[in-house]
Amino acid sequence: MTLFYHETEYFLSRNRIYFYHETEYFFITKQNIFLSRNRIYFYHETEYFANKIFGQKFHLDFYHRNF
């Protein structure tokens, strides 16, 4: 499953989420999320929230049971 949003791609696999934008790769696990120009927040080890991507406000919710 791949979600596209303004040239920003999220790749979902069993228990991890990959964030890809141009040549920047980020690997996210069940730990605190990095903060960068594109902010991504991780809560409760099972929910992913993303917002403020290129100034656009939105959020994506992913649950571990769906992986």
pLDDT digits (tens, 9 = 90+) for 42-65: 443 334 444 444 334 344 444 444
Give the residue carrying structure tokens 């919710």. 61
Quick one: pLDDT band at residue 16, thresholds 50, 70, 90?
low
pTM of the complete model: 0.16
Closest C-alpha among 35, 30, 21 to residue 48: 30
Pairing of strands 40-43, 24-28: unpaired
Domain spans, the chain = 2-66
